[in-house]
Amino acid sequence: MFRPQIKVIDCTIRDGGLMNNHDFSDHFVRETYRALSEAGIDYMEIGYKNSRRLFSDKEFGKWKFCDDDHIRKITEGINSKTKISVMVDVGRVDIDDIGPKKDSPVDMIRVASYVKEIDKAIYLVNHFADKGYETTVNIMAISRALDNELTEAFEQLEKESKAKVIYVVDSFGSLYQETTEFLIKKAKGIIKSKEIGIHAHNNQQLAFCNTIEAIIHNANYVDGTIFGLGRAAGNCPLELLIGFLKNPKFDIRPILDLISKEFIPLSKRLEWGYVIPYAICGMLNEHPKAAMELRKGSKKENYREFYESVKGKDMD
């Protein structure tokens, strides 16, 4: 039996954008929106709301800024119940860039934050909630959080924030299902008035596994991306998630079509997924930055040296 409370958020364009400077063509984004709409996916996260004072739109594509007009160009004319989400990073957003919900095609704003910046995240999320948006706080790099600090962050979020959902984010793809169980139970034990979400990375081929594990322990907001597209190893493949969820409102077929037509060609030009240096970062609980750098150079297949450099880092 399915759990109707479960909501699926597709982050293909947002997390995938970290691999191409958010520079997807309108055609690609629109076909993604169309397929997600036909598949019955609840939300599509289309990019970041980053400040143009910090980032140049000469260097980055439009999905790093997500202007309302650009979003409207994607969605117009497509019959859809799929809501639009954007992400903001603590410290990288101009709150004045974001008008009231009633004037915007955006439905949900997700605030990405490290544990140590939780006060700033609460300020932002409450501000966006007051402007009429659905909101979430996504706690990044949770595999590095100290337990007592995480407890405090969860307590603050429960008491002080207007966020609808609090997300556990495995930024480094280093969680095993036992740790996911621990974190989701911990969140559920403290946060009673909000939903819990999971955003998993696939460095160790455990993004889908950890998402299922979170669902088992009553997380109701689950992130996926089409064909796993996302930073480095990517994310929980949306097509696997739909195959697992029993809700009859989901239809996998438009997603399969889109993978055939758009994602197989893309995968010839852009690398993501199960790549050994990303797996090494997952095992060693490290940010994939160094691995992404490695993959651009001539030592891209020099795994032993990379492993030893990552492992040695913490021993200095």
Tell me if 238 sits within 8 A of 32, measured CB to CB. no
Should residue 173 be labelled a site residue for its own copies when binding is judged by CB under 8 A?
no
How many C-beta atoms surround the C-beta of residue 292 within 10 A? Answer: 19
Question: What's the gap between Cα 254 and its chain centre?
Answer: 21
Helices (H), the chain: 12-16, 26-39, 68-75, 118-130, 147-160, 177-190, 207-216, 238-244, 253-258, 264-269, 276-283, 289-294, 303-313
Does 267 sit near its own copies (CB under 8 A)? Answer: no
The answer to whether 182 contacts its own copies (rule: CB under 8 A) is no
Nearer to its own copies by Cβ, of 151 and 205: the residue is 205
**The binder of its own copies chosen from 102, 248, 304, 312 (CB under 8 A):** 304
Q: Of the ranges 46-54, 68-76, 127-135, 275-283, which one interacts with its own copies (CB under 8 A)?
A: 275-283
Give the single-character DSSP code of 33: H
**How many whole angstroms separate alpha carbon 112 and alpha carbon 95?**
14
State how far the Cα of 234 lies from the Cα of 49, in Å rounded to an integer. 21
**Stretch near its own copies under the rule CB under 8 A, chosen from 2-10, 39-47, 116-124, 299-307:** 299-307
Phi, psi of 122, rounded to the nearest 5 degrees: -65, -40
| 123 contacts its own copies (rule: CB under 8 A) | no
The reply on whether position 256 binds its own copies by CB under 8 A is yes
Cβ(238)–Cβ(10) below 8 Å: yes
3 state SS of 93: coil
Please report whether residue 244 would count as binding its own copies according to CB under 8 A. yes
State which of residues 84, 108, 157, 207 lies at the interface with its own copies (CB under 8 A): 207
Q: Are strands 43-48 and 7-10 parallel, antiparallel or unpaired?
A: parallel
Alpha helices for 115-146 (secondary structure H): 118-130
Stretch that binds its own copies, among 68-76, 107-115, 116-124, 252-260 (CB under 8 A): 252-260
Q: Does 32 bind its own copies (CB under 8 A)?
A: no
Beta carbon nearer to its own copies, 25 or 302: 302
When binding is defined by CB under 8 A, the residue of 55, 123, 182, 303 that contacts its own copies is 303
User: Would you give the end-to-end CA distance of the chain in angstroms?
Assistant: 52
Stretch that binds its own copies, among 27-35, 40-48, 94-102, 255-263 (CB under 8 A): 255-263
Cβ proximity of 255 and 262 under 8 Å: no
CB of 300 to its own copies, least distance (A): 9
Site residues, its own copies (CB under 8 A): 176-178, 202, 204-209, 212-213, 216, 227-228, 237, 239-240, 243-244, 252-253, 256-257, 259-260, 264, 273-274, 276, 279-280, 283, 301-304, 307-308
